Amino acid sequence: MMEHMKAVAKGHADYINRVSVQILETGRYGRIFTRAEGRYLWDSHARKYLDMVGAFGAATIGHNHPSVVHALREYLGAAQCHICHFGLIESPVQLAERLAELVPPPLKISLFSSSGAEAVDAAMKLARAATGRKKFVYCDGGYHGTNLGTLSVMGVDRLRKPFEPLLPDCTAIPYGDIGALEAALSGSDCAAFIVEPIQAEAGVVLPPDGYLREALQVCRRCGTLLILDEVQTGLGRTGRMFGMQWDEVVPDILLLAKGLSGGIAPIGVTLTSESLFRAAYGNPETHDLHGSTFGGNGFSAAAALASLAVIDAERLVENSDRVGNYCLQGLRRRLSGHPLVKDIRGRGLLIGVELSDGKRVPNRSPTSAQRLSPAGIYCQWLCLRMLEQGIVCQTASLHWNILKLTPPLGVQESEIDVFLSVLEGVVREDDDMGKVCRKFAKRMSASDMHTW
Ligand code: PMP
């Protein structure tokens, strides 16, 4: 087994990405996870871990949920037409009907794709085609995927810069700033404003109360569409079925992906109203302007239908709200006031713990240097120490100084207690940030694929 796993690590380094393997080794994720069930993962040494990352928010219903596995076995057993663009297949239609029941009107029509980024791209094209306008406004710190189109509205310089020039006429504004939005849309020539209800990858950044409601009003006044990217916040993550419910808004275009198929099959969906869809793609010349081979495939749709049923049957949205609050309170009770802890925030089971080295906190547009700030390295160290004690957690991808929690939504209070005790123990034991950074740097320079 050991030899086999070494070969996997070497194969990944040789044929996929060497630096990723080295970084994983440094963080001593020099573990290969070979089994995933419910809220737990197992590595190749059969060690068990509580999963507080949940496939970066995709494993909302837990890993390999038996209902989804059963549904997919049945689906495959029936030997159906999996992809059939010259005919019609049933499961995507059932999924679109179910989604139309879940979302508020006038949202109704589903454009299916295979990832979050594809759902964003589809939204941008839809907005241009429906409005005849070209411009987009987006927020600093916003994460919308790494395709060329989505990078154009990505508020993260490090991810954009190497690929410029991107789409012209895309303007960034500060997240949560209504005045800036008004100014950016004032020409009444902008196709859409794209925004996350909570900026997840930026480190669980919550906007001021009522922000989305006011943003929608500004968009309406200027004839601009509102695109809500709920790839991460949707489907129960924030303690509501959709993050938009916290502000009681209905956007023109709503995006879902990640957890929609239970983290098993690639899927994304761009939901919109009949009228906008008609304006964009409503005649024989335009009806097929957007599409892809796997978009709307039967297997992913079957997985999504089964996953949505689990979210309902197990009351995962309510659980996310209740256990999320429990976790937030526990974190605050145990860690508030600690000199390294700057902020603890979140909604439902989307929670961030921001650490600080006491110096100026990085801004929301990170470079690699900021990711490797002392607080960023310290936070990676925390994750490593927790891993050693049977808990998987990770930092926000854009700000390593923020621990970002997105566990499966069925996580229980007793599991949160275990997580909190381990986290508190590690923070209290290793609270010399300078010392930890030196240790980590030494490890990083020694990393050479030998701990696998
Ligand atoms: N939008 C948001 C809000 C996301 O968090 C992500 C992924 N982290 C994406 C879009 C892109 O999704 P994908 O990785 O499936 O392309």
- Measured in Å, residue 143 CA sits from the centre of ligand 1 at 7
Residue 359: left (phi > 0), alpha (psi -120 to 50), or beta?
beta
Measured from the Cα of 146, ligand 1's closest atom is 16
Q: Map out the domains of the chain as residue ranges.
A: 31-60+315-446, 66-313
- Whether 66-313 and 31-60+315-446 are alike in CATH topology: the answer is no
Percent of the chain with pLDDT over 90: 77
* Cα–Cα distance for residue pair 242/197, rounded to 1 Å: 9
CB 143 within 8 A of CB 398: yes
* Cα–Cα distance for residue pair 376/54, rounded to 1 Å: 21
| Chain segment 63-93, per-residue pLDDT in tens | 999 999 999 999 999 998 888 877 788 999 9
Closest CA to 195 of 179, 209, 206: 206
pLDDT score recorded for residue 136:
98
Amino acid at 373: S
Amino acid at 43: D
- Measured in Å, residue 260 CA sits from the centre of ligand 1 at 12
CATH number of 31-60+315-446: 3.90.1150.10
State the average pLDDT for the chain: 92
pLDDT score recorded for residue 147:
96
* Cα–Cα distance for residue pair 85/82, rounded to 1 Å: 10
Tokens linked to 370: 């900021």
**Cα 323 from chain centroid (whole Å):** 19
pLDDT band at 366 (very low <50, low <70, confident <90, very high): very low
CATH number of 66-313: 3.40.640.10
- Output b/e per residue, 192-229; b: 16+ Cβ within 10 A: bbbbbbbbbbbbbbbbeeebbebbbebbeebebbbbbb
Pocket lining: 273 vs ligand 1, CB cutoff 6 Å: no
CB 95 within 8 A of CB 301: yes
Pocket lining: 121 vs ligand 1, CB cutoff 6 Å: no
Pocket lining: 229 vs ligand 1, CB cutoff 6 Å: yes
Tokens linked to 402: 């923020």
Gap between the terminal Cα atoms of the chain: 11
* Cα–Cα distance for residue pair 138/153, rounded to 1 Å: 6
- Measured in Å, residue 147 CA sits from the centre of ligand 1 at 10
- Measured in Å, residue 267 CA sits from the centre of ligand 1 at 11
Mean pLDDT across the stretch 294-302? Answer: 96
